[in-house]
A = this chain, B = another copy of it.
């Protein structure tokens, strides 16, 4: 079509149809062979109607424009991050095999248990579906309200503060006092804490009694440990599935080590996923996410919401040459199922 313009280097990054199909062919082939791809195989691929020679000359352009790279003279071409980016941006969204679709429906029809269990199992599911490492992130309860708090006496000087939130999460904190508290004092404190904190969020500032008696001290102590929760973690949880796939999917011990090292740090994974989501991306390729150790990785994310509110995300981590179509489809389908699962009729907690 816009052939006449082919000579003009298009700064907007859009390619004419022929370059596009060549780039696509290169990416597609490199994804499944992991080898540099040469002009002949591109020329023979569907959607490319020109001779190897023409392909070659187009490839030098694509290389100059940064979509392809040559490992060394007289080798085939390999896509750059930019090349992959173009590829995924122009990917007509694929669809999962019906066997897999079935597997997912089956899974969500049969899962039981608490949210945490469901999320954990979901991450396993996702990694099995794709053969990549999966991440399932549940955002924190920063704006969940407190449904109940209870102070339970462990022994005279140790109590356990158990708080239940409207999102179904439960957290415990241990409270230590430097005096012996009677059972009566503890349950009185528990009663008052309940009255005090009911329907508040962790961000609400509450008026604590300033008296110095045992009950008041327990209350102050309890409120303080509870509110201390906030700054450290936001209560996000992350479930990682199929980390063993890291070993099959990356080559080079060093890469494997680095990637595993990142996955070990849950906080990092949460922020990574969050960052990508915030950028409005669904795929971050190579250096796009800014984590140097993951520069040979691509990360796919798909948001999950509950009642219209963003509530987390599912993610996949693979090499930049991952099978985007399948992986995107899987992440999408699973995130939709999750959204439906938690939005819908079933147990919320």
Contact residues of A with B, CB < 8 Å?
114, 147-148, 150, 152-155, 158, 160, 162, 164, 166, 168, 170, 172-174, 176, 241-244, 246-248, 251, 253, 256-258, 260-261, 263-264, 347-349
Partner among B166, B258, B260 whose Cβ is within 8 Å of the Cβ of A243: B260
Q: Are A170 and B164 in contact (CB under 8 A)?
A: no
> How far apart sit A69 and B173, CA to CA, in the bound complex (Å)?
55
> How far apart sit A333 and B242, CA to CA, in the bound complex (Å)?
32
CB distance from A9 to the nearest CB of B (A): 42
Q: Are A164 and B152 in contact (CB under 8 A)?
A: yes
Q: Are A243 and B256 in contact (CB under 8 A)?
A: no
A-B contact pairs, 16 of them (CB 8 A): A114-B172, A147-B160, A148-B150, A150-B164, A154-B348, A158-B347, A162-B162, A162-B164, A168-B174, A170-B172, A243-B263, A247-B256, A248-B253, A248-B257, A251-B253, A253-B256
Top 6 A-B pairs, shortest CB-CB distance: A244-B260, A174-B349, A247-B257, A244-B261, A247-B256, A174-B347
Known: A114-B174, A256-B256. A348 touches B155 (CB 8 A): yes
Task: Tell me what chain A mostly uses at the interface: helix, strand, loop, or mixed.
Answer: mixed
> How far apart sit A345 and B257, CA to CA, in the bound complex (Å)?
39
Q: Which residues of B contact A261 (CB under 8 A)?
A: 244
